[in-house]
Structures are given as C-alpha cells and as structure tokens.
Structure 1
Amino acid sequence: MSIAKADYIEGMAKGMAVLESFDTERQRLNATLAAQRAGITRAAARRHLLTLAHLGYLETDGSYFWLAPKVLRFSGSYLASARLPRVVQPTLDRLAAQTGESFSAVVLEGDAAVIVARSGAARMLAYGMHLGARLPAHATSTGRVLLAAKARSEFNAWLKGRELPRLTARTTVDAARFRELIEAVRQRDYCLSSEEHELGVLALAVPLRNMQGQTVAALNVVTTAQRPPRSLETVLLPLLLEAARELRALL
C-alpha cells in the first residue's frame, strides 16, 4: 500500500525497523548493531531502543537490548482477530488426527513464509515450526507455492538481485534453477520440498485459494525423510487438495 508523503510518519517507520531488527540470528542488539540493521544513525537507534524499552517492548541490561514478552501482544491480537487462522484451524487438526503428521497454514511476507496456523495434535518435526515462525521462502514448500502464485513479472521483481542462502547441501541457490522450480510448481499446482530447509525433513504444500481464485495462503504437511517421497504425493497430496477445496468457500 502506498500513501501520501504527508501521511507518512517517519519516526514510527524507524521504530518498527528497529523492532524488526531482532531475529533468530541476533537476539540481543546494542545501538550500533540496531543502527546497522535498521539503516538509521546510531543516535536514532539508541533513542528508539530506549523508548521501546520504556514502553515495555524490550528489556535491557544497559548496553544490550532484547525482545520482551509484551511484543507477543501483536501476534496474539492477529491470531485472535484474523479470519484465516480461525477458518483453517479445524481442518489442520482434523488432518493431523487422521494422519499423525504436522500441518500448517502459511502466508508470504517479504522473503519469508510465515506460519499463521498449525495443527496442535501432531508431533513437531522441523526446527522452528511454531506459530509466527518466519521461514525462508525459497527453501520451503509453502514459500515456493506462494511465489508461484505471483504474476511472472512480480516474481521476477522478487527474485532480481536476491541472494538465495544455502541452508542444507540440497538447497537450491542458483537463480536460474530456482526460476525453473517455480515454473514447475505453477504447472503442477503443488510443491514437494526434500531436505532443502532442514535435513531429514520433507514438506508438501498446495495453494489455498478463495472463491475469486486468489491464493491467500498455502497449506502444507511436514514429515520425516524416512517416509518415501512418493507416498507424500500418493497419500497426503489428495488429502491436502481435498482440504483446499473444502476451505475455498470459507476464505
């Protein structure tokens, strides 16, 4: 969404940039690191860090800052009020109870596939598969499904100049090869990812579309690499496709 310059609050944007600077790579930041990550001056970063700490969103030892539990208010409010998680949760739980596998609903945000709902009854197999987790879109089945849903011009803009980090020995990092994979996902309308995000983990995803045909999320199942990949397509894929058809009228 674009807005008029007069409506843009630069201070708020900088404060959010500082807050978003905290991630799994850097759980604790000082003013210098926060400035580098947020793209602002050290002095500005220090003021934003102190303000966020004063408001209760950060904790500090006087030099370094880290996220406080209060930031969970944002995710909690989203999960409580957003329609998508509430609509898909019963389906995820049913699929998990039926198969014993782990199912999730995921949306795309920038370069990350973000889990907005997940089955509560199945075992957790992959690292970081929790609500709100941000997984690299290029290396996940859900991320590829959501990228394939973009218009080709939008996907080309997303990929242009982007580095695709190698997470395992099987991660696709070559841009030309990745483009071919996304085109294959468009043709098949599903994606099977084998140990590209985490060794020992397989994932299968299909798009979740609304009645207008727009892809609003991806539905996936995560299982162990001990399960033959062929069985994902013969046993689990039909379940995912049927669930996506059932959910379409509700999205």
Structure 2
Amino acid sequence: MAHADYIAGLAKGLAVLESFDTERQRLNATLAAQRAGITRAAARRHLLTLAHLGYLESDGQYFWLAPKVLRLSGSYLASARLPRTVQPTLTRLAVQTGLSCSVVVLDGPEVIIVARSATSEQPERRLAHGLHLGSRLPAHATSTGRVLLASLDDAALEQWLRQHPLPRLTAHTVTSAQHLLSLLYGVRQQDYCLAREEHELGVHAIAVPLRNPLGHTLAALNVVCAPQRMPAEAMLRDLLPLLQEAARDLRPML
C-alpha cells in the first residue's frame, strides 16, 4: 500500500476497538493507550468517538463494547462465503459425532472461529469464557492452529515463530519454538493434528485442513472431545475419517 493511501486515524481507531477482549472487558484511556500503542490523549479521543458512534458504552471513566459492534461481525458472517459454505457440513458432523465442530482461520498469533455447530443433546464443552463465533484461540496450542501454521511455507512459518511468543497455558503446552516447528513438520506429513490438553485441561481436539480446488489451505476443521469420553486412539480411528471425508466433500465448493 502506498503511504498516501494509509489512513492513520482509522488504523488507530481500530486498534483501540481491538484492545477490548475477555481479559480486559473495560478500559480507560490509559489502558487503551497501552494496549493500542498510542498516546493517552489519542486513545481518549478515539474512545469518545467510538462511544459517540455507538460502538462503546461508558460510565464517564471506563469504556466497554456495545452491542453495535456485532454489526461488524454480523456483516462478515452474512456475506462471507466460507461460513455459509461449511455450515451444513458442520451441522451434519455434529449430529454424526454428538460433539462440537468448528471451522477456524488464522489471524496472527490466534485462530478465529468463523463457523461452528454442536448438538443440543450433547452439552458442549466450554472454555473459561465460552466458545462462540468469533472466539480467538492461541494458534500454537490448538489443533486447528497447528494445521494452519503447518500450511505456511518455510519462510512464513519461521517469521511467525520469530514474531509470536508461545505462552504456557497448561502443563502440556509446547512453548519451545524448535519443538513446535518439529511438530508442525509432522502435521504437514500426516495432514492432520491431534492436540491433547495443551490449550485447556480435559480437552482433546483433532483437526484437518480445508483446501480449495487449487490446493490452498483456507481454514481448518476440527472436532473437540473430552478424553474420558473418547481416548486419543479412538479419536484417530473414529473421528479422523469423518473429518477427512468432510474436507474432501467441501473442497470443490471452497
């Protein structure tokens, strides 16, 4: 992009909006400035503007997200082709397995759930803050994240590892870049990933890549299960073939 085409004010406003998450649901100007990497005065102006536009609510000191922000994600879900294409397949998988299924895409150090399905008969396993459309999960510690990272070329993968830390989330989380790189090479070879309690204790997940007809990986499809319900060996035996079949069926449509 040419420098003349870059709108710095818009970029800063979006950075302030993205500063809100499950860890920091309410921000004042000082906290927003720290998280967005801008001055406190600039953060205050952006917060007040976003509140005036209806995207934030405030008590005069702290600000938090207003329901209007859902217009942004709602517009994506309504217009984007990927979620609409995969949803029938996700629904079928949830009925077949009785488990929660998701499709995610890579966004920097995280993956974002863009489509998901779970049966009403089987209470879905929830993370600390719940799983929902738009949930962001750490790529290095999730089955889908590793599938998507493994799809990067060597240069892009090495750059990703240099740029992003690998925080420990459980006692099982891989936090060594070299160890993760070795695991990702294995994911490339086997074309799936099984992650065991690395993001959350009591949660196993298995994922496969979703590719378009040209062979480019666009997203990852996974199913989540508690180990006491189905051990890892059974997931590979019973669930992996279903995921692989779903990926093959979706490929011509992606």
Q: TM-score per shorter chain, which class?
A: over 0.9
Where does residue 174 of structure 2 map in the other structure?
172
* Amino acid of the structure 2 residue aligned with 1:53: A
SS of the equivalent of 1:225 reads coil
Amino acid across the alignment from 1:41: T
Which residue of 2 is the match for residue 132 of structure 1?
134
Equivalent residue for 2:236? 233
How far the C-alpha of 1:161 sits from its partner, in A, is: 4.7
The superposition leaves residues 62-111 of structure 1 with CA deviations (integer Å, 9 ceiling, x where unpaired) of 00000001000011111111000011000000011111011110000111
Residue 207 in 1 paired to residue 209 in 2? yes
Partner-residue secondary structure (3-state), 2:164: coil
Cα gap change, 1:200 to 1:20, in 2 (>3 Å) = same
Matched, 1:61 2:64: no
Contact 2:99 2:118 in 1 (8 A): no
**Residues 92-111 of structure 1: matches in 2 within 5 Å?**
92-111=90-109
> Which residue of 140, 143, 152 corresponds with 1:141?
143
| Structure 1 counterpart of 2:125, one-letter code | L
Contact 1:138 1:144 in 2 (8 A): yes
Instruction: Name which of structure 1's ranges 234-243 and 127-136 shifts more when overlaid on structure 2.
Output: 127-136
Contact preservation (8 Å) 1:113, 1:135: yes
Sort the Cα spacing of 1:85 and 1:197 in 2 relative to 1 into closer, same or farther, 3 A.
same
When the two chains are superposed, the root-mean-square deviation of aligned CA atoms in Å is: 0.9
Q: What is residue 45 of structure 2 aligned with on the other side?
A: 47
Amino acid at match of 1:21: S
Letter in 2 for 1:75: S
Q: Given residue 138 of structure 2, which amino acid in structure 1 is its aligned partner? A: P
Q: Read off the aligned partner of 1:213 and give its amino acid letter.
A: G
Residue 173 of structure 1 aligns to a residue in which SS? coil
Q: Give the whole-Å Cα distance in 1 for the aligned partners of 2:163 and 2:4.
A: 31
Deviations 1:135-165 (A, max 9, x none): 0000100000000000011000000153201
Once the two structures are TM-superposed, the CA of residue 129 in structure 1 deviates from its matched residue by: 2.0
> Structure 1 stretches (4+) deviating beyond 3 angstroms?
none
Q: Which runs of 5+ in 2 are unaligned?
A: none
C-alpha contact 1:126 1:198 (8 A) present in aligned 2? no
Paired residue for 2:82, among 81, 84, 93? 84
Contact 1:167–1:198 (8 Å) recurs in 2: yes
CA–CA distance in 2 between the matches of 1:13 and 1:237? 41
Q: Distance in 2 between matches of 1:181 and 1:24?
A: 29
CA distance in 2, matches of 1:220, 1:237: 9
The yes-or-no answer on 1:162 pairing with 2:160 is no
Structure-2 separation of matches of 1:161 and 1:36: 19
Aligned-partner Cα distance in 2 for 1:102–1:150:
26
Within 1, Cα distance between the matches of 2:99 and 2:124? 8
> Mean alpha-carbon deviation: is it higher for 124-133 or for 183-192?
124-133
Tell me the matched-pair count.
Answer: 249
Q: Say which of 2, 8, 11 aligns to 1:10.
A: 8
Q: Cα distance, 1:126 vs. partner?
A: 3.3
- How does the TM-score come out when normalised to structure 1? 0.97
1:193-237 per-residue CA deviation (whole Å, 9 max, x = no partner) reads 000011000000000000000000000000101111001110000
* Letter aligned with residue 111 of structure 2: A
Q: Aligned partners of 2:72 and 2:109: how far apart in 1?
A: 20
> Alignment partner of 1:23: what SS?
coil
Query: Is the CA contact (8 Å cut-off) linking 2:83 and 2:115 kept in structure 1?
Result: yes
AA in 2 matched with 1:142: T
